[in-house]
Structure 1
Amino acid sequence: MSWMRKLNHLNVIAAAAGGAIASYIFTSDERRKTAWTSWTTGYTPSVKWDWNWDRREAHSLVKPPKYKDDENNNVICNGSYEERLEKVRPTASRHLIFIRHGQYNLEGVSDSERHLTDLGREQAALTGERLKELTFPYSRVVYSSMTRATETAKIVLEKLDKIEEIEQCELLREGAPIPPEPPIGSWRPEMHKFYADGARIEAAFRRYVHRAPSSQEKDSYEVFVCHANVIRYIVCRALQLPPEAWLRMTLHNGSMTHIVIRPDGRVGLWQLGECGYMPPEKLSRT
């Protein structure tokens, strides 16, 4: 097999593999995704970004092409592989805005008793007003089924118009996502809590945090009203940081955390615990 034929052959294999090392060498699409430092200085990052983190990379959604030699001994593909890739490749971004519930009654024993305080209701109203002022075209609001999150969501929804989809979700309930490193404070759940809650919160991440489908033509804005532990864990997972780092962050009640997911799988954190729209006397972290 000639050198040029080998090169062409490797190109086909790289495209079919969707993430193999060869694709970083031979395809322009993967070269674009490689850090500029890798091409200018030979720098190798300690941890590489996983482009197929949500299993929605185009190459993983399309059956690899069959290839054969033509009469000139060139490797060719059967079918319109590139066309099929284009059909499943996203073109829009998803904006996910996570809101922590307002301050609630810490003396409550049952979930129903852990309702919002007067301050918590004020915080929720301020957050709703902020969302309204941003004038994003919100298409969906999803909220945890726990009392404090449900109450917060209802107050927020009073400030917003024309929400196409409103959903309550058990997966977004508060819990212990994963043992934190380093351990902080006196909050130390039993290991069985991490085992049960962690799987549920991970399921919430996989259900809601992913790139847009190819059918989505415009950028979308979705609101999720839930809890600090859930939000902090999702931030770590979305940014491909060690998930054990979730407890190193603190979120105010009623604060907003804004994540954007680009069509190529890049993820950016636009805001973490934003609450500057609240006056100082309305801030709390309970």
Structure 2
Amino acid sequence: MNRLLLALGCGLLSFAISAPAPAAEPEAQAMRTIVLVRHGNYEADPAIAEKIGPPLSPIGVAQARLAGAALMGLPVHFDHLYASPMQRARNTAAVIASDFPGRKFEVIEDLAECTPPTRRTEATKDENPADLIACKDKLDRVFARFFKPASAGDQADMLVCHGNVIRYMVTRALGVDTTAWLEMSVGHASITTIRVEADGRFKVIAAGDAGHIPPNMRTGTTGDPARSLAIPLLLELPEAESAH
């Protein structure tokens, strides 16, 4: 009997040692909100390296201030703030940061402006095909990094970047042909909001929302006229008639 009990005990001990550990509980997922802000207006300057690009124009600064006020008023806490390395985006982020005291933007190189492939080939006929593919690969990395459920409770991220970047992300979120991105137009300092549900589904809440910018200050969308904050010249007044 004692030998039987000893053998049974050794067998149970051996089973306990060799039994696989229970599988870890899958990490709970939560909702993530991504708010993409296009930079404000700028004036092209061929003397500045394309990689950096020109700074904001005066009206671009004003647009960024309006965007900052709108973002600060949203009923959401931004867990992370990111910006493109290009000057116009960094300027926009700096202006917005004034509405978020104590917060800093992290610069993400992959948020820089580029041109991905488009079905409107006439618009990219002068582009190097390798550059188009490299841009697509870079933007796909951005999508994979940010456009996924949160892992530690609901989360919101702000990305200050560029029109091409934003339009490409919208096509990815919608699950449509990404070469259709050029069929969309988003204005300067506009706000695009995309929600990633806990189960991985995407919801485009707003695309290119510019309601915080007065119509006579909107630029950057197809058909927008050039605008300026410069004081216009005074009209010449007719000389007063001589008194008789």
Give the TM-score taking structure 2 as reference length. Answer: 0.75
Task: Map 1:159-238; keep pairs closer than 5 Å.
Answer: 159-163=99-103, 166-177=105-116, 179-183=117-121, 185=123, 188-213=126-151, 216-217=152-153, 219-238=154-173
Shift, 1:94, TM fit: 0.5
Q: Contact (CA 8 Å) 2:63, 2:217: kept in 1 or not?
A: yes
Aligned to 1:136: 76
What is the rounded CA distance, in whole Å, between the counterparts of 2:188 and 2:131 in structure 1?
24
What is the rounded CA distance, in whole Å, between the counterparts of 1:276 and 1:131 in structure 2?
12
Shift, 1:127, TM fit: 0.2
> Which digits, 9 at most, give the CA deviation of each residue in 1:143-194, with x for residues without a partner?
000000000001011112454x6310110000012x2113365774221221
Aligned to 2:93: 153
Aligned to 2:27: 88
Shift, 1:258, TM fit: 0.1
Whether 2:43 is the aligned partner of 1:105: answer yes
What is the rounded CA distance, in whole Å, between the counterparts of 1:276 and 1:182 in structure 2?
29
Q: Contact (CA 8 Å) 1:261, 1:267: kept in 2 or not?
A: yes
Residues 278 and 187 (structure 1), Cα distance of their counterparts in 2 relative to 1, 3 Å cut: farther
**Structure (1 or 2) with the greater helix fraction:** 1
Aligned residues with identical type, % of pairs: 29
Aligned to 1:245: 180
Residue identity in the other structure for 1:97 = V
Residues 188 and 272 (structure 1), Cα distance of their counterparts in 2 relative to 1, 3 Å cut: farther
| SS at structure 2 position matched to 1:156 | helix
| SS at structure 1 position matched to 2:205 | strand
Aligned to 1:260: 195
What is the rounded CA distance, in whole Å, between the counterparts of 2:40 and 2:181 in structure 1?
20
Residues 108 and 119 (structure 1), Cα distance of their counterparts in 2 relative to 1, 3 Å cut: farther
What is the rounded CA distance, in whole Å, between the counterparts of 1:263 and 1:184 in structure 2?
40
What is the rounded CA distance, in whole Å, between the counterparts of 2:125 and 2:212 in structure 1?
30
**Larger relative contact order (CA 8 Å, sep ≥ 6):** 2
Task: Map 1:5-44; keep pairs closer than 5 Å.
Answer: none
What is the rounded CA distance, in whole Å, between the counterparts of 2:47 and 2:143 in structure 1?
28
Residue identity in the other structure for 1:138 = F
Residues 115 and 87 (structure 1), Cα distance of their counterparts in 2 relative to 1, 3 Å cut: same
Q: Structure 1 unaligned segments of length 5 or more: list them.
A: 1-77
Look at both structures and tell me which one has the larger radius of gyration over its CA atoms.
Answer: 2
Shift, 1:113, TM fit: 5.5
Question: Superposition RMSD on alpha carbons, in Å?
Answer: 2.0
Q: Contact (CA 8 Å) 1:237, 1:243: kept in 2 or not?
A: yes
Q: Structure 2 unaligned segments of length 5 or more: list them.
A: 1-19, 222-244
What is the rounded CA distance, in whole Å, between the counterparts of 1:238 and 1:155 in structure 2?
28
